[in-house]
Structure 1
Amino acid sequence: MSIYKLKSSFQNLLRPMVGRLAAMGLTANQVTLVAAIVSIAIGGLLVVQPEPALFALVPVWMFLRMAFNAVDGMLAREHGQKSALGGYLNEIADVVSDAALYVPFALVAPFSLPWLMAIVFLATLTEFAGVLGAVHGNGRNYEGPMGKSDRALLFGALGALVAGFGTLPAWTWHIQPMACVLLAWTVVNRVRSGLAEG
């Protein structure tokens, strides 16, 4: 089970606004690039100035970024903006944005850079495994249990904790290895799904 399953309901809420944005001339690739730039800017700010209060930006932006991702997908599919370049931008921007938003947590005890780098690496593998399904003609795979939306919820919650309490409880150290296990499981599930569909 993954939060991704709720995506269709979220898209239904956004559809009227997406229609208006398309009429204004906004493109899917512009939305993708803006979302990536904001993610990198927030991540950079938190690395340079890791003040607890600033981590409140993470849950707010994680939610907004999910909306941006839904909007760019709907513009592409439902308003004739699907393109090869858009496919590349979408996948690359997501991986870069995730890394930018996760790494600053290495500066918050009890988290550490080696664990965060492992999470970034495995998160990248999950997206790579998902894309390979499309490359082989079986469709993009979004299986969980730790897809992009699930990771957004996790790091959004962690950002809210840091902002609210100034640090993270000692027990949250265990989230790092648990996240790695769930990410590895996600890679396996996506590979299995791709092979089954093939």
Structure 2
Amino acid sequence: MNGLYALKPWYADRLAGLRRALAARQVSPDTLTAAGVVCAAGAAAALAWLPAPPAVLVVAVLLAGRLAFANLDGALARDTGRTTRRGALLNELGDRAADLLVIAGFLPLAPLWLVAAAAFATTLPSWVSLAGAAAGAPRRNGGPVGKTERCLLAVVAAASGWAVPVLAVVAAGSAVTAVVRAVWVWRALGRPEAAVAAAARERGVGTERAMATGRDVASEKPAVRVAEPASSSPRRRPSPSPAPSSSPALGSLPSEHDRSLPLDPGEVSGGITHTRPQSPADRGTRLRGAR
């Protein structure tokens, strides 16, 4: 249940011309985030200090600007290729600050405990969404009482003066929204693709690439090279091929791979026996020495 958040694509299309103009003038997305916070502060001041019926126009215009800037800053960053991790952090902090400022506008109009409860409750849906995104689930937004609905309720309070009932609806609705998002995130994290996304994020692998391979990255383990066990018996290492002799008396020596010839015992070094083949000349010399 997305509530009024379902209208976001339509609203973004209405702002496309303004977004192009801002991009042409090279306006920073961080400036738009700050402008949204300023609009929220102005709406809170109008809600607190202006009487109920006349305050509605000022509050409605400023909160519409707050929602417009919240939509424009991220879209402008994506369109101009200026998305950064610091920008994402500033966007989240700006949203939370704007929400709390609007609730602070009820301080002269409602009991302090109710204002504090509403302020705390408005942060719960965002906590759940951010925790789910950190665990690998898609970012969850929307209602039943999300950011857009809270702004609309503030406009209702400015028009009617029903500060206490509106705050009670904001507090209860935000808590329900947090529960709805928590259930959705819990179910999303139980799906295999959520595990792949989380593992891909930890390994620095793109999620789409990990999903395209059809492998469960979460269950991937690094390959371990097992050393070959040493044999109990010494292994024979072939000696380098002897250089061909230029002596006509010896002629060509037999190849070291000719295992039909008897082998001289070689020296033992490091547990490895080196052998070399005996040539006919070597055998003749040994026989003459024996006699």
TM-score bin, normalised by smaller chain:
0.7 to 0.9
**Pick aligned residue for 2:171 from 174, 180, 188:** 180
Distance 1:117 1:69, change over 3 A: same
1:61 aligns with 2:62: yes
Amino acid aligned to 2:185: G
Aligned to 2:151: 152
Structure 1, residues 16-74: CA drift from partner, whole Å, max 9, x if none? 22012111101211100122133235435655xx2314564222111111111111121
How far did 1:97 drift?
Answer: 1.1
Q: Superposition RMSD on alpha carbons, in Å? A: 2.0
2:137 counterpart SS class: coil
Task: Tell me if structure 1 keeps the 8 A contact 2:4–2:142.
Answer: no
Amino acid aligned to 2:167: Q
1:194 aligns with 2:213: no
1:32 counterpart SS class: helix
TM-score scaled by structure 2?
0.59
Partner Cα separation in structure 2 for residue 56 and residue 62 of structure 1: 10
2:105 counterpart SS class: helix
1:89 aligns with 2:80: no
Partner Cα separation in structure 2 for residue 137 and residue 75 of structure 1: 25
Which of 1 and 2 has higher RCO (CA within 8 Å, sep 6+)?
Answer: 1
1:95 counterpart SS class: helix
Aligned to 2:108: 107
Partner Cα separation in structure 2 for residue 176 and residue 43 of structure 1: 14
Q: Which moved more, 1:130-139 or 1:82-91?
A: 130-139
Aligned to 1:25: 26
Partner Cα separation in structure 2 for residue 45 and residue 155 of structure 1: 11
Partner Cα separation in structure 1 for residue 165 and residue 46 of structure 2: 26
TM-score scaled by structure 1?
0.84
Structure 2 residues not aligned, in runs of 5+: 190-291
Aligned to 2:135: 136
Distance 1:113 1:55, change over 3 A: farther
How far did 1:194 drift?
Answer: 1.5
Aligned to 1:73: 74
Number of equivalenced pairs: 186
Partner Cα separation in structure 1 for residue 22 and residue 139 of structure 2: 26
Task: Tell me if structure 1 keeps the 8 A contact 2:154–2:166.
Answer: no
Between Structure 1 and Structure 2, the one with more helix by share is 1
Task: Tell me if structure 2 keeps the 8 A contact 1:44–1:100.
Answer: no
Task: Tell me if structure 1 keeps the 8 A contact 2:39–2:63.
Answer: no
Amino acid aligned to 2:177: T
Structure 1 residues not aligned, in runs of 5+: 162-166
Partner Cα separation in structure 2 for residue 81 and residue 26 of structure 1: 11
Structure 1, residues 116-173: CA drift from partner, whole Å, max 9, x if none? 1111101011111122222222221114211111111111221233xxxxx43xxx63
Task: Tell me if structure 1 keeps the 8 A contact 2:129–2:139.
Answer: yes
Amino acid aligned to 2:101: A
